[in-house]
């Protein structure tokens, strides 16, 4: 039987505890071909995002994946980080050997522009950090809007935030960039805070990871630190849900269509993703985003465990 052609993919990220798990999942799956990883200033400064991306590729045995130079601040502002949420380096208490692998010389936005041109109508992007690299790419190469097939983001929330009452970190950290991306016309899928709060990883699932090989053990430690702080509620692992949705959309048990835009000002609403739900029977407007709303939690946990296992060698 002929092998199915893999879908070209770029992963834009700021690892980050949950980014690390999402990267493991994507490096293990075989639906997509990862063309490159484009780190960005986010959870920690850009240097951490870049170094962590290199180390995680090496740990997973995927030194072949190019890691690009990303943006060190927000598109029109200084840029924000997430403080101590992801520990001192971005990877909680996990310490990995310094990378032998080097960053590519090319910048993230030029790489994205080049790859979109090479794969018109096919390239997909998984974005699990602030959307700065993507916004710069869209400003520099406006034709991208007609070339990228889909962007799946972890970001935003319909009714809540985690940095402020309205602002989820990835959107709040560079709201201008997020608005450029949501307004680009590229079909979007959004994994927001509501579904993330539902897709928690529990202590017995962490234990299963910790009993595995090198990649599973690192995932177990990363997730375990969060699980321990959760008081039995389970670890929230936002970016892993976005990876799971790309690998198997059936992991989501409810999605809906919406027109989503981003509030870039406002005294208390900066960085809010504002959604108008589109009901097909009354459709007078075209949705720009599929909002993921509910998830099959045990299926997500099983995906994480099995995909990490694949990388254990
Ligand atoms: C998002 O912000 C970051 O801290 C996480 O890595 C995730 O991408 C959750 O709000
Ligand atoms: Ca992230």
What are the start-end ranges of the E strands in 16-86? 32-39
Identify the pLDDT of residue 1. Answer: 60
Nearest ligand 1 atom to the CA of 173 is 2
pTM value is 0.97
Residue owning tokens 């099995």: 306
Sheet containing strand 124-127, strands side by side? 32-39, 7-13, 124-127, 150-154, 188-191, 289-295, 252-262, 273-277
Strand partners of residue 292: 191, 255
Q: What residues have a C-beta under 5 A from ligand 2, the ion?
A: 14, 16, 19, 128-129, 239
Identify the pLDDT of residue 70. Answer: 98
Nearest ligand 1 atom to the CA of 85 is 4
Identify the pLDDT of residue 313. Answer: 84
**Ligand 1 near 174 CB (within 6 A):** no
Identify the pLDDT of residue 156. Answer: 98
Listed residue (197, 173, 171) closest to 260, CA to CA: 171
Q: Which CATH code fits 7-312?
A: 3.90.245.10
**Ligand 1 near 92 CB (within 6 A):** no
Distance in angstroms (rounded) separating the CA atoms of residues 86 and 79: 17
- Structural domain boundaries of the chain? 7-312
Identify the pLDDT of residue 279. Answer: 87
Nearest ligand 1 atom to the CA of 129 is 8
Identify the pLDDT of residue 159. Answer: 94
Q: What is the mean pLDDT of each run of 10 residues along the chain (313 residues)?
A: 87 98 98 98 97 98 98 95 92 96 97 98 98 98 98 97 96 98 98 98 98 98 97 97 98 97 92 92 84 98 98 93
Identify the pLDDT of residue 81. Answer: 93
Identify the pLDDT of residue 4. Answer: 84
Identify the pLDDT of residue 2. Answer: 66
Listed residue (203, 168, 6) closest to 85, CA to CA: 168
**Ligand 1 near 152 CB (within 6 A):** no
């Amino acid at each position: 039987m002929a092998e199915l052609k893999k879908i070209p993919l770029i992963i834009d990220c700021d690892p980050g505890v949950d980014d690390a798990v999402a990267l493991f999942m994507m490096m293990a799956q075989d639906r997509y071909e990862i063309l490159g990883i484009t780190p960005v200033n986010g959870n920690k400064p850009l240097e951490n995002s870049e170094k962590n991306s290199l180390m995680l590729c090496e740990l997973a045995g995927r030194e072949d994946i190019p890691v690009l130079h990303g943006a060190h601040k927000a598109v029109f502002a200084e840029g924000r980080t997430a403080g101590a949420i992801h520990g001192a380096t971005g990877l909680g208490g996990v310490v990995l050997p310094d990378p032998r692998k080097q960053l590519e010389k090319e910048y993230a936005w030029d790489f994205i522009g080049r790859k979109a041109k090479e794969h018109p109508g096919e390239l997909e992007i998984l974005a699990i950090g602030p959307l700065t690299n993507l916004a710069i790419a869209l400003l520099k190469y406006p034709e991208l809007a007609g070339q990228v097939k889909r962007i799946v983001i972890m970001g935003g929330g319909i009714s809540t935030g985690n940095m402020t009452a309205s602002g989820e970190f990835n959107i709040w950290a560079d709201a201008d960039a997020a608005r450029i991306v949501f307004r680009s016309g590229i079909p979007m899928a959004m994994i927001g805070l509501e579904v993330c709060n539902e897709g928690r990883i529990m202590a017995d699932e962490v234990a299963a990871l910790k009993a595995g090989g090198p990649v599973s053990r690192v995932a177990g430690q990363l997730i375990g630190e969060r699980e321990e702080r959760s008081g039995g509620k389970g670890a929230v692992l936002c970016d892993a849900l976005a990876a799971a949705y790309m690998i198997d959309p059936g992991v989501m048990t409810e999605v809906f269509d919406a027109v989503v835009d981003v509030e870039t000002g406002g005294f208390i609403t900066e960085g809010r993703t504002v959604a108008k739900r589109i009901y097909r029977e009354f459709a007078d407007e075209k949705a720009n985003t599929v909002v993921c709303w509910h998830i099959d939690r045990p299926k997500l946990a099983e995906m994480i465990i099995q995909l990490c296992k694949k990388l254990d060698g």
